[in-house]
């Protein structure tokens, strides 16, 4: 299944979609700079949805499909909070009858609604493929399209219900988390203005003011790439490593015996702020991820130990269960932040508590205000032109309009 997640058609071809959506994001902030958090949520929802299911975009957080997806994602996040249910600590409670265990009914009802919604989305993707084939056209690449082809070609014995949960998991895992990281990026920039200035200086030098950055510029923007890594390190979204893992054999770690099958939660927060890896870990400074030959690199930010992960942090997890959408998320962060930092000054309006975050399975900064201001009239004009091009690109992906409320009435 990992091969389906990471296939080149899924992670590379959507660049045009991500680029267009990032331009739409910047254009939206120009019109409504105060509601940047909602704009981030719409951006990530649209990118992930179109890649999961194909030829549709999300224009509003008020659309039924987004409301349903986010409602279920938040419910699932609540289930994953350690200790949320007594049965986790006292397994005998699972034998209690439903009338004495109302949580069983709640979980069953959510499961039934989610299954119906997942199947409707896959059926919609099937219909898009069928309609395109009739017209002699090719539907946009998506996880669902690839999985359908692989299942048919290789005869994978996966039921439609189980199948439908795979693309659904991409939305659940990739939408809120990426938007949360973007919110952390804003908090980092308003509290560390030197990082914003350094990022804008690199963009001005490489890109200039007459065009917007694209994916083709990525290799020439090492500071922006480092900024993305530093955002992910500085404030990981899944502070306890996301979905719990389990040991595959008996182990001994620093004198502690870990039996085979033991549930393990990785403390991503502690790992990402470990001074042995990251000196002065609460300081947000992308320079710690620059190549040592880069003149902006600071040797005092080099740790005594080198983090073993290729990404340089643990925010996407580790081992066989590492986040399969890590590249997709990093790409979205790169293109969105590069365009926003190119176009806008992101300025503080007060002092901020950089530890004032929400609780729960996923974490993001609690709502705060800042000033998002276009950098110049020229930037505004270039953004306007880019917005027209982005809208033309996204015309290929009509807004999703399925009525999920009617689906629930039918079920």
Question: In this structure, what DSSP letter does residue 372 have?
Answer: E
Q: How many CB atoms are located within 10 Å of the residue 78 CB?
A: 12
Dihedrals φ, ψ of 194, to 5°? -65, -35
- CA atoms within 13 A of residue 292's CA, in its CB half-sphere: 5
Dig out the tokens for 4 from the structure: 């389906």
Residue 238: partners with Cβ closer than 8 Å, 6 or more residues away: 177, 268, 315, 317, 361, 362, 363
Task: Please tell me the distance from the alpha carbon of residue 139 to that of residue 396, in angstroms, as a whole number.
Answer: 10
Dig out the tokens for 271 from the structure: 């790992």
Residue 203: partners with Cβ closer than 8 Å, 6 or more residues away: 213, 221, 224, 338, 341, 342
Question: In this structure, what DSSP letter does residue 298 have?
Answer: -
- Check whether 183 is labelled as a binding-site residue: no
- CA atoms within 13 A of residue 204's CA, in its CB half-sphere: 12
How long, in residues, is the chain?
Answer: 411
Task: Please tell me the distance from the alpha carbon of residue 42 to that of residue 261, in angstroms, as a whole number.
Answer: 39
Task: Please tell me the distance from the alpha carbon of residue 408 to that of residue 86, in angstroms, as a whole number.
Answer: 29
Give the burial string for 293-317 (b: 16+ CB within 10 Å, else e): eeeebeeebeeeeebeeebbbbbbb
Nearest to 215 by CA among 326, 313, 339, 39: 339
Whether 181 and 333 have beta carbons less than 8 Å apart is answered as yes
Dihedrals φ, ψ of 372, to 5°? -110, 110
Whether 73 and 175 have beta carbons less than 8 Å apart is answered as yes
User: What DSSP assignment string belongs to 43-71?
Assistant: HHHHHHHHHHHSS-B---TTSHHHHHHHH
Annotated binding site for heme: 323
Annotated binding site: 323
């Amino acid at each position: 299944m990992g091969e389906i997640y990471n296939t080149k058609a899924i992670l590379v071809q959507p660049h045009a979609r991500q680029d267009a959506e990032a331009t739409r994001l910047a254009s939206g902030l120009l019109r409504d700079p105060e509601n940047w958090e909602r704009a981030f949520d719409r951006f990530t929802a649209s990118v992930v949805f179109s890649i999961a299911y194909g030829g549709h975009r999300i224009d509003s957080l008020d659309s039924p499909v987004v409301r349903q997806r986010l409602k279920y994602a938040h419910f699932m996040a609540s289930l994953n909070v350690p200790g949320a249910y007594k049965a986790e600590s006292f397994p005998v409670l699972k034998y209690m009858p439903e009338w004495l265990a109302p949580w069983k009914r709640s979980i069953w009802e959510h499961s039934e609604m989610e299954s119906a919604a997942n199947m409707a989305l896959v059926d919609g993707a099937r219909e898009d493929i069928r309609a395109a084939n009739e017209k002699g056209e090719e539907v946009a690449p998506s996880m669902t399209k690839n999985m359908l082809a692989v299942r048919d070609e290789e005869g994978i014995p996966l039921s439609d219900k189980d199948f439908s949960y795979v693309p659904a998991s991409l939305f659940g895992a990739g939408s809120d988390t990426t938007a949360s990281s973007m919110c952390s990026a804003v908090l980092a920039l308003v509290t560390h203005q030197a990082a914003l200035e350094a990022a804008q200086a690199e963009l001005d030098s490489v890109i200039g003011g007459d065009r917007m950055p694209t994916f083709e510029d990525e290799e020439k923007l090492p500071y922006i790439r480092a900024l993305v890594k530093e955002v992910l390190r500085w404030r990981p979204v899944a502070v306890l490593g996301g979905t719990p893992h389990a040991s595959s054999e008996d182990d001994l770690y620093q004198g502690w015996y870990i039996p085979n099958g033991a549930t393990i939660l990785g403390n991503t927060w502690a790992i990402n702020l470990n001074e042995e890896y990251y000196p002065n870990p609460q300081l947000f400074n992308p320079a710690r991820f620059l190549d040592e030959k880069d003149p902006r690199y600071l040797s005092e930010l080099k740790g005594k130990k080198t983090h073993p992960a290729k990404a340089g942090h643990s925010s996407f997890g580790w081992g066989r269960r590492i986040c399969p959408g890590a590249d997709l998320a990093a790409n979205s962060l790169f293109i969105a932040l590069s365009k926003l930092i190119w176009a806008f000054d992101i300025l503080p309006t007060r002092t901020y508590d950089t530890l004032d975050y929400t609780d729960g399975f996923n974490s993001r900064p609690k709502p705060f205000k800042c000033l998002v201001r276009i950098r110049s009239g020229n930037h505004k004009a270039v953004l306007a032109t880019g917005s027209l091009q982005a809208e033309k690109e996204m015309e290929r992906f009509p807004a999703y309009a399925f009525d999920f409320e009617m689906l629930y009435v039918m079920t």
